[in-house]
Structure 1
Amino acid sequence: MQPTPEQPQTSIRISWPAGHTTATVEDTPTSRALLGRLPLTSTAQTWGEEVYFDTGLSARVEDGARQVVEPGTVAFWTDGDALALPYGPTPISRGDECRLASPCNLLGRLDGDPRVLATVRGGDPVRVELA
């Protein structure tokens, strides 16, 4: 069996007034489209222990889209044209799971502790740029 070449990855920085984090983004159709729009600024919204914000990008649901993800997943919510960053349960979660509003495209993972997102407040300006 041949080893598979490593998928290209890109680092992004997500910042808001009280902090910042970085994420490693995989090479997917949605992530390529998102990276082409950077830097972008938006307004944060929160939903339980999830931060999401409009990107101005429209994308189709990709193969592998999921509704239940691990904390720290970088996801794209196609229904809302938004980046979704869960760090804990949402209002529709069962137990401690991270359940997104609907299946989302998986783009990558936050680097470090995703609970840093707890410092994001609804209405905060958010900036996403290449790291």
Structure 2
Amino acid sequence: MADLRVTVDGIDLEASWSHDAPETRAALEEALPLGGDATRWGDELYFSVPVDVESENASAEVPEGAIAYWPAGNALCLFWGPTPASRGDEPRAASPVNVVARLEDVAPLAGLEGGARVSLERP
């Protein structure tokens, strides 16, 4: 069973928490539900969240489907493909992010155009 329900412009997706950044995860879990109008940057969406945590096992290279917290911008990011910072087809953040969860299926995001309304909540 999924840990999170992620909705992107009416598209329901499931995600599971990771163990990469436990303090960041705890702060985000406490703040749920979260949502906002996300900006698109390549195959990434990001939006501001009311969470302020430091870098924790942060990396600019992330797996496809990563849900990550961006400490430099107090934002939550969803990655499903290359961004302007990528060196190939891999997702890459503008600067290091704390990966907290992973989407189970990113295929529905391929048809997105522009920004989107994003929400995260418990299932």
Structure 2 match to 1:26:
18
Aligned-pair CA distance for 1:53: 1.3
Please give the residue correspondences for 1:109-120 in structure 2 after superposition, counting only pairs within 5 Å. 109-111=102-104, 113-120=105-112
Is 1:58 aligned to 2:47, yes or no? no
Structure 2 match to 1:89:
82
Greater radius of gyration (CA): 1
CA-atom RMSD in angstroms: 1.7
Identity %: 39
TM-score (norm. length: structure 2) = 0.87
Amino acid at match of 1:36: E
Is 1:47 aligned to 2:26, yes or no? no
Q: Which runs of 4 or more aligned residues in structure 1 lie more than 6 Å from their structure 2 counterparts after TM superposition?
A: none
- Paired with 1:124 and 1:55, the residues of 2 have a C-alpha distance of 15
In the alignment of these two chains, the number of paired residues is 120
Given the alignment, which residue of 94, 97, 100 partners 1:107? 100
Structure 1 unaligned blocks of 5 or more = 1-9
Please give the residue correspondences for 1:119-130 in structure 2 after superposition, counting only pairs within 5 Å. 119-130=111-122
Would you say the 8 A contact 2:45–2:115 is kept in 1? Answer: no
Structure 2 unaligned blocks of 5 or more = none
